[in-house]
Structure 1
Amino acid sequence: MRKQYLKLLSTIFTCCLVLCARQGVAADTAAVTDLGKRVAALTREVQLLEDQNAIEILQRTYGFYMDKALWTQAADLFTVDGTLEIGPSGVFTGKARVRDYLLSLGQEGPQEGRLIDQMQLQPVIHIAADGNSAKGRWRSLVMAGQHQGQAWWGSVIYENEYRNEGGVWKIAKLHGYNILYSDYAKGWAESAVASIGPEQPLAPDLPPSTGHHSYPEKFFVPFHYQNPVTGTSVDMDTATPELSPVEPDELGQTLSDLDTRLERLNDVQSIERLQHAYGYYLDKQQWDTLANLVAEDGTIEIAQRGVYAGKKRVRDNLDLYGEQGVHNGVLHNHIQLQPVIHIGTDGKTAHARARALSMLGTYGGAGVWGASVYENEYVKESGIWKFKHDHLYTTMFTTYNEGWAAAPRAAPGVNKDNPPDLPPSVVYEAFPKTHIPPFHYPHPVTGVEVRAP
């Protein structure tokens, strides 16, 4: 996407040169009309980039709502006539029936002892030329289970459709193909089922739209798009709309607006890169380098360890996670996933909700799984984005051998030898207890603040 930004910005610059060259002289009608067409085409390209960002936010938010069994909020992401089809369960038609299906999965809202993390990953999105519909392929990695019961790995491929209604993107069709569900203790080499869910599933409105097989049986999930190198067509029934040139007296303002919109899109990418870099530095315990990602007055709050305020104190906090540098026999992977980023109206502040999947351990010792959610703040200083508040909420922390259903561990607390400057800003308990890290943004369709039921 960065190359697209540079290409578009170059076009804006060229257009501006043409405008400047024509100031104070008689307008060449053909040239001005051509410029208006180029700006109109540029506007459409920028809109498509914004639409892709909105669809990614929509689907990733669906995952965050599903994690906490926010069934009503998840159903409200659908169009009124939207459909849902998961595995062999059949098709549920209409927003109300989507909610009925979700409610059949269990009590609404987070429940003690229940884990249903559903990571939304690997998007391939194509937006129709008219900007009114889109299709997306996604992967979901599922960590599910019941405390002191059974734990599951799950793998799902989505082939979804989306609709733009009045400038708001919604899910028109959610179709999840269950690739694998496997008992955690046995692993996928010894255990596989078609799906997990209630013993008496809700009857669908329609039978499954396709034959469905899960591992170990072979099954190919059809792609909505062709090979991006050998073929260019995408399965969409829309023609490219005819664009009207931007009027000459609107060119200046339109170019200015496009410049701002592109800057905001670039800001989103910059923050995503910043968060990814944070994860890579964390992997290899590069504490000095990681601390330099933080503003001078920035803070860090990991799990229930409390708040460390200021860059120097952020660096002190990092010593809690081991000695700086790369060490033999130490695994410290922190995979950064599923970012939902919003830029402030001033263009200098931002918030992001994201997910971390942690793989920790020492060779010959204990291995650990961790699942967490970030609600972070960022600040732009001299054109560079930095962390303002790095706040990680622990969902689950458990040993590799026993898994999340059998042997959960409490979130780390305050360290007396390296105490924080402030106590934890939010007090909670990790799995098997439950909590909802507060959302920095309202529901992307209804605009309503999201709270626990």
Structure 2
Amino acid sequence: MSTQEHLQQRIELLEKRLVGLEDIEQIKRLQRMYGYYIDNRLWTEMAELFSDAEAVMEIGQRGRYLGKHNIEQFLLDVLGQGRSGLLRDEFINHMQLQGVVTLGDDGKQAQGRWRALIQGNPPAGSRSLFWAEGVYENTYVKEAGTWKIARLWWVPTFYTSHPCDSLSFASSPASASLPPQQPSAEPDSELGRTFVPFHYQHPITGHAVTRVTSKT
């Protein structure tokens, strides 16, 4: 093999590795966005992350829902109990940890394993906190150059709740002894606390995403 052929082969190998690393980062980004959308009960935005072809969602022992339409209905009607968005003083934290992504040989499919740690409170008025933990084993596909979720499978390890005497959504006020140069962002009157806007657009639709506040 000539020096030129060797260099060409090495360039092709490095380019393949670079594409693989970019694919893995896109998949991780996709899964993280899913977590932030579920934090805010954005069911439509979550469903749009799924493959247009053969999407599957399986949560615990609730069965498998096939296709984006059925997945969206499941999210809204079953998980969401008919409502989108957060109630005032309601919160969900869906933290996805220990992500391991493995690309398929064809570069068009991948597997991802994540550990989800979930905390939240029931709708305002209840004096308890909810915790859950479980493992995702997901499948992703690359459609027209964009990674999407083909199968989302979450198996819970545990669910629990415990009493909570107090839950505050108010931060400490500005210091009187060392006043800030500018005031903090105003809390959202409907949510009951400050909402941090998404700086990114939806990875599939390209639309800006905003929170939804439930009125019920």
Deviation at 1:431, TM superposition (A): 10
Deviation at 1:445, TM superposition (A): 1.6
What's the % identity of the aligned pairs? 34
Q: In the aligned structure 1, how far is the partner of 2:65 from the partner of 2:16?
A: 34
Decide which of 23, 40, 44 is 2:16's aligned counterpart.
Answer: 44
Structure-2 change in CA distance of 1:420 and 1:434 (3 Å)? closer
Higher-Rg member (1/2): 1
Preserved contact between residue 94 and residue 119 of structure 2 (Cα < 8 Å): yes
Structure-2 change in CA distance of 1:145 and 1:421 (3 Å)? same
Q: In the aligned structure 1, how far is the partner of 2:3 from the partner of 2:167?
A: 71
Task: Report the TM-score, using the length of structure 2 for normalisation.
Answer: 0.88
One-letter amino acid matched to 1:142: I
Preserved contact between residue 186 and residue 194 of structure 2 (Cα < 8 Å): no
Preserved contact between residue 410 and residue 429 of structure 1 (Cα < 8 Å): no
- In structure 2, the partner of 1:11 is none
Deviation at 1:443, TM superposition (A): 0.8
Preserved contact between residue 170 and residue 193 of structure 2 (Cα < 8 Å): no
Deviations 1:78-125 (A, max 9, x none): 112211110111001111111111102221122213222111111011
**Which residues of 2 match residues 54-453 of structure 1 at below 5 A?**
54-80=26-52, 81-104=54-77, 105-106=79-80, 107-146=83-122, 147-149=124-126, 150-185=128-163, 402=164, 406-424=166-184, 426-428=185-187, 433=192, 436-453=195-212
Aligned length: 206
Task: Report the TM-score, using the length of structure 1 for normalisation.
Answer: 0.43
Preserved contact between residue 68 and residue 109 of structure 1 (Cα < 8 Å): yes
One-letter amino acid matched to 1:97: N
Q: In the aligned structure 2, how far is the partner of 1:409 from the partner of 1:51?
A: 38
Deviation at 1:70, TM superposition (A): 0.8
SS of alignment partner, residue 79 of structure 1: coil
Report the aligned-residue RMSD: 2.0
Structure-2 change in CA distance of 1:56 and 1:450 (3 Å)? same
Q: In the aligned structure 2, how far is the partner of 1:435 from the partner of 1:446?
A: 26
Preserved contact between residue 110 and residue 435 of structure 1 (Cα < 8 Å): no
Q: In the aligned structure 1, how far is the partner of 2:143 from the partner of 2:194?
A: 33
Q: In the aligned structure 1, how far is the partner of 2:130 from the partner of 2:190?
A: 15
Deviation at 1:430, TM superposition (A): 9.5
Q: In the aligned structure 2, how far is the partner of 1:434 from the partner of 1:73?
A: 22
Deviation at 1:129, TM superposition (A): 1.9
Structure 2: unaligned runs, 5 residues or longer: none
Q: In the aligned structure 2, how far is the partner of 1:170 from the partner of 1:434?
A: 32
Preserved contact between residue 37 and residue 45 of structure 2 (Cα < 8 Å): yes
Structure-2 change in CA distance of 1:430 and 1:161 (3 Å)? farther
Structure-2 change in CA distance of 1:73 and 1:432 (3 Å)? closer
One-letter amino acid matched to 1:43: E
Structure-2 change in CA distance of 1:92 and 1:438 (3 Å)? same
Preserved contact between residue 133 and residue 163 of structure 1 (Cα < 8 Å): yes
Q: In the aligned structure 1, how far is the partner of 2:150 from the partner of 2:209?
A: 22
Deviation at 1:411, TM superposition (A): 1.7
Deviations 1:260-296 (A, max 9, x none): xxxxxxxxxxxxxxxxxxxxxxxxxxxxxxxxxxxxx
Deviations 1:416-449 (A, max 9, x none): 211111112x311599725541111111122111
Moved more, 43-52 or 407-416: 407-416
Structure with greater proportional helix content = 1
Q: Which has the higher contact order (CA 8 A, sep 6+)?
A: 2
